[in-house]
């Protein structure tokens, strides 16, 4: 290879660049990023940066001198617009074309929007540094009426930060429990009890009917979801807000690949080495969907920091290996993610599904500190910890060993 193009100045993209150099690749690397900023870390956007505790210079992914040592050709502030795997060319939004003989796609994800969501200065999404700084300017003085639509991790982190800054906060969720996709209904409800402790109301089973400007305020019109018997909204209702934050999830950023010939299905479909089905083309991070050997080949797409960091390195290593005539290695991993809300750290390791058996083995919901294990078909599949970091991380070994659910429950009882 003489020229590798990495599309996406994300965590996965930066790790891929570093991984190529670590593998001894000395050719050209072009790093393409849609944002004008030097690559930065995203988890602090809903916490430390949003609260004002950190300024943007604290979240750079690579120090300036380290970035210089990578010897990258930088194309920041211009998005990728198309890919030809036949001609081995990436087309950018400004019309320029960049050829490659090795490609790593790490374009991450983009925020979803509500149907009919207005473009209004008091309606925010949170995905970029600019989003975080703009929202921070509205929240920092406190006393704002803040409505957050979506009780996923980002929405709840914003809720915690906004509340700590002295704002009145309400969270609206369309499903019948918060964090249901990541943790399941029972544990999602248990974890988010900490919000009630801080005066934040989470209303579930809610349909947002519209967001209407009224004078200097916004009116969020809601109704109960007729499909959800647990909805706590009867008929219609309206919430007067100064600030509305929409956090209804993300979608993999694959729109620019529609005519590429790659297989797209809620992400780029890859094999277990992260190859995207075309020689010398790999994907990493939020955008990659792959069969995970650690979970018997279950196809998954993981939207978390640890996965992006690891996949960027593996994609680079496999690209370099294949280019040098070697063999790529499968990416087998135990997914891990965390969230910080108020003074609590929520951590999850493994995989969860809505019909998993869940058992609390340490602590209690009432104490706001517990360890819960997830099992399915007799197999141990995941662990959730609220303010219990050490036992949670020790569960990784139990997952790697592929214990049965009952074996894991017994082993977890004896963890330090």
Task: For 30-66, write each residue's pLDDT tens digit.
Answer: 999 999 999 999 999 999 999 999 999 999 999 889 8
Q: What share of the chain is helix, strand, coil (3-state, %, to 5)?
A: 30, 30, 40
pLDDT of residue 228 exceeding 80, the answer is: no
Fold category of 123-246 in CATH = FAD/NAD(P)-binding domain (3.50.50)
pLDDT digits (tens, 9 = 90+) for 72-107: 999 999 999 999 999 999 999 999 999 999 999 999
- What tokens appear for 357 in the block? 């058996």
- Decide if 3-110+250-323 and 123-246 have a common fold: yes
pLDDT digits (tens, 9 = 90+) for 127-179: 999 999 999 999 999 999 999 999 999 999 999 999 999 999 999 999 999 99
Handedness of CA 261, 107, 329, 67 (dihedral sign): positive
Task: Tell me how far CA of residue 153 lies from CA of 52, 242, 338, in angstroms.
Answer: 20, 22, 9
- Percent of the chain at pLDDT > 70 equals 97
- What tokens appear for 170 in the block? 């309400």
pLDDT of residue 233 exceeding 90, the answer is: no
Q: How far apart are the first and last CA of the chain?
A: 49
pTM for the full predicted model: 0.94
* Domain ranges, ordered by start, for the chain: 3-110+250-323, 123-246, 343-413
Q: Which helix or strand (DSSP H or E) is residue 408 part of?
A: helix 405-413
Which residues have CB under 8 Å from 141's CB, separation 6+?
none
Question: Taking all residues of the chain, what is their mean pLDDT, rounded to a whole number?
Answer: 94
pLDDT of residue 278 exceeding 60, the answer is: yes
Characterise 191 by phi-psi region: left (phi > 0), alpha (psi -120 to 50), beta (else): alpha
pLDDT of residue 363 exceeding 60, the answer is: yes
62-68, Cβ contacts within 8 angstroms, sequence gap of 24 or more: 62/14, 62/18, 62/38, 67/38
Which CATH superfamily does the domain covering 343-413 fall into?
FAD/NAD-linked reductase, C-terminal dimerisation domain (3.30.390.30)
329 three-state secondary structure = coil
CA–CA separation, 248 vs 264, rounded Å? 22
CATH class of 3-110+250-323: alpha beta
Q: Tokens 């929007």 identify what position? A: 113
Which residues have CB under 8 Å from 34's CB, separation 6+?
9, 77, 78, 79, 80, 107
Report the pLDDT value the prediction gives residue 227, as an integer from 0 to 100.
46
pLDDT of residue 229 exceeding 50, the answer is: no
Q: Render 120-180 in DSSP notation, one character per residue.
A: -TTEE--SSHHHHHHHHHHHTT---EEEEE--SHHHHHHHHHHHHTT-EEEEE-SSSSTTH
pLDDT digits (tens, 9 = 90+) for 175-207: 999 999 889 999 999 999 999 999 999 999 999
Report the pLDDT value the prediction gives residue 354, as an integer from 0 to 100.
81
Upper half-sphere CA count for residue 186 (Cβ side, 13 Å) = 14
Do 92 and 98 meet the contact criterion of CB atoms below 8 Å apart?
yes
Characterise 322 by phi-psi region: left (phi > 0), alpha (psi -120 to 50), beta (else): alpha
pLDDT digits (tens, 9 = 90+) for 330-355: 999 999 999 999 999 999 999 998 88
């Amino acid at each position: 290879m003489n020229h590798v193009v990495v599309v996406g100045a994300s965590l996965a993209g930066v790790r891929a660049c570093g991984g190529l150099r670590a593998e001894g690749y000395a050719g050209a690397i072009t790093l393409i990023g849609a944002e004008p900023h030097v690559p930065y870390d995203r988890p602090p956007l809903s916490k430390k940066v949003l609260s004002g505790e950190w300024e943007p210079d604290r979240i750079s992914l690579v120090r300036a001198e380290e970035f210089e040592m990578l010897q990258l050709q930088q194309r920041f502030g211009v998005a990728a617009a198309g890919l030809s795997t036949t001609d081995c060319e990436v087309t950018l939004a400004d019309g320029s074309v960049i050829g490659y003989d090795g490609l790593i796609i790490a374009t991450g994800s983009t925020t979803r929007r509500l149907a009919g969501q207005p473009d209004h200065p008091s309606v925010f999404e949170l995905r970029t540094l600019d989003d975080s700084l703009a929202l921070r300017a509205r929240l920092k003085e406190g006393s704002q009426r803040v409505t957050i639509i979506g009780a996923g991790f980002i929405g709840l982190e914003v809720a915690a930060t906004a509340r700590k800054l002295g704002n009145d906060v309400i969270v609206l969720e369309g499903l019948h429990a918060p964090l249901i996709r990541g943790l399941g209904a029972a544990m999602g409800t248990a974890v988010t009890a900490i919000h009630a402790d801080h005066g934040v109301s989470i209303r579930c089973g809610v349909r947002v009917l519209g967001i209407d400007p009224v004078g200097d305020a916004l009116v969020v019109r809601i109704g109960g979801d007729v499909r959800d018997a647990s909805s706590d909204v009867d008929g219609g209702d309206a919430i007067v807000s100064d600030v509305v934050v929409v956090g209804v999830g993300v979608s993999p950023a694959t729109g620019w690949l529609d005519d590429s010939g790659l297989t797209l299905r809620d992400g780029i479909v890859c094999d277990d080495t992260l190859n995207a089905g075309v020689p010398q083309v790999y994907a990493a991070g939020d955008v990659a969907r792959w069969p995970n050997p650690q979970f018997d080949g279950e196809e998954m797409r993981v939207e978390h920091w640890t996965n992006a960091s690891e996949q960027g390195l593996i994609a680079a290593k496999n690209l370099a290996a294949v280019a040098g005539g070697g063999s790529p290695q499968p990416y087998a991993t135990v997914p891990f993610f965390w969230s910080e809300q108020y003074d609590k750290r929520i951590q999850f390791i493994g995989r969860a599904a809505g019909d998993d058996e869940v058992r609390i083995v340490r602590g209690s919901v009432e104490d706001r500190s517990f360890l819960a294990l997830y099992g399915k078909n007799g197999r141990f599949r995941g662990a959730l910890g609220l303010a219990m970091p050490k036992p949670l991380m020790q569960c990784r070994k139990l997952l790697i060993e592929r214990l049965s659910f009952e074996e894991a429950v017994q082993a977890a009882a004896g963890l330090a």
